[in-house]
Every structure is written in structure tokens, then in C-alpha cells.
Amino acid sequence: MTPPTGDAAALSPSAQRVQRALVAAGVASTVVEHPVAARTSAEAAAALGCTVAEIAKSLVFRVGDDDAVLVVASGANRVDERKVAAAIGAPIGKADAAFVRTVTGYAIGGIPPLAHARPLRTLIDADLLRFAVVHAAGGTPHAMFGIAPADLIRITGGLVSSIAENPGKA
């Protein structure tokens, strides 16, 4: 097995884009590409040796025909779409893989919370604030990075909201 790498030059192009965005935002975190893919929160937690609740999963929902909202939720939480719609003041719907790639520039399973193809309105799951560090995708299913929730809020401009079906149950 190939060991994980934090060398920016050795990162895939998508992970390099995320690493550059972290540096530009003043976040002292390194995107690491792991030998195993982590397309789900459970896979990411197993690869990192943390709890599923510490995974900051990025989900994209469609708003109208061409708009989107990014929800960064605890990996242990199921997102309540009614709460998301209420938080943004608009109905939301499922986003297919093509739409997600168009608005973020990344494939599902590797969507980071920053460095998107276009600016996205963002909601941050309040449950993530319980942790000193959470772990997010770094542009590919193999790439991840740790980040303090305060930095996550700052770099995304996200609104902290209780968007989980059962908040605090993670």
C-alpha cells in the first residue's frame, strides 16, 4: 500500500486546488491523500481513526433550476431537508451527480467545503461545533483534511444551523 502523502506537489489536481484554497484562507491544514477511498462518512472515519460524527460531509442540494446550497453536516447525522429549506427560505431538491459537479467542480464522494466552481450558500451543522477538529473531503474520495469548526465557518461563510433530523444524537 502507498502511504498517505501531504506533499502538495504529489497531490492530485483536485486535492491541490483544495490545498491552495486552504493556504489562501490562512488555514494551517494539509490535504492528505490516502490509499483507500472514503466515499462515505463511515469509510472516512475508518481511514482516519476517528468517529463518524467528526466527519464533515458536504452535501449539495438544488435550489430552483440553477442555484444550489451546500450543507456541511456531521457524518453521523441525517440532514432534515425541511430544516435546510427553512434556514435558506426556499424549497430545496435533490441534486444529481452532473449538477453537483457543475456547481462544485468535484465528484460526489470528494466534495470539499471550499474551492468550488462557483460561490455556494453554505449551512454548517451545529453538531460539528462539539469537536476541536473535524475532517472534510479534500477534492477526491482519497483526499481529506482536518479543520477546526471555527475555521470551517470562516472559510465557507457558512451559517451555523440545526439541520439534523435528530441533532446531538451523533
Q: What is the CATH number of the domain that holds 110?
A: 3.90.960.10
The string of pLDDT tens digits covering residues 104-133 is 999 999 999 999 999 999 999 999 999 999
Is pLDDT at 28 greater than 60 in this prediction? Answer: yes
Q: What values do phi and psi take at 145, rounded to 5?
A: -150, 155
Label residue 3 by pLDDT band (50, 70, 90): very low
The string of pLDDT tens digits covering residues 74-84 is 999 999 999 99
- 166 found inside a domain: no
- 2 found inside a domain: no
pLDDT of residue 82: 97
Q: Domain of residue 27: give its range.
A: 8-161
- 113 found inside a domain: yes
Is pLDDT at 1 greater than 60 in this prediction? Answer: no
Neighbours of 37 (CB within 10 A): 15
- 67 found inside a domain: yes
- 3 found inside a domain: no
Query: What is the rounded CA–CA span in Å between residue 131 and residue 136?
Result: 13
**Number of separate domains in the chain:** 1
Q: Please compute, for residue 18, the number of CA atoms within 13 A of its CA located in the half-sphere on the CB side.
A: 32
Label residue 21 by pLDDT band (50, 70, 90): very high
- 76 found inside a domain: yes
Residue with cell 457524518: 75
Predicted TM-score of the model (pTM): 0.91
For residue 113, give every residue at least 6 positions away whose Cβ sits within 8 Å of its Cβ, in sequence order, or none: 56, 58, 70, 72, 122, 136, 147, 152, 155, 156, 158
- 128 found inside a domain: yes
pLDDT of residue 10: 87
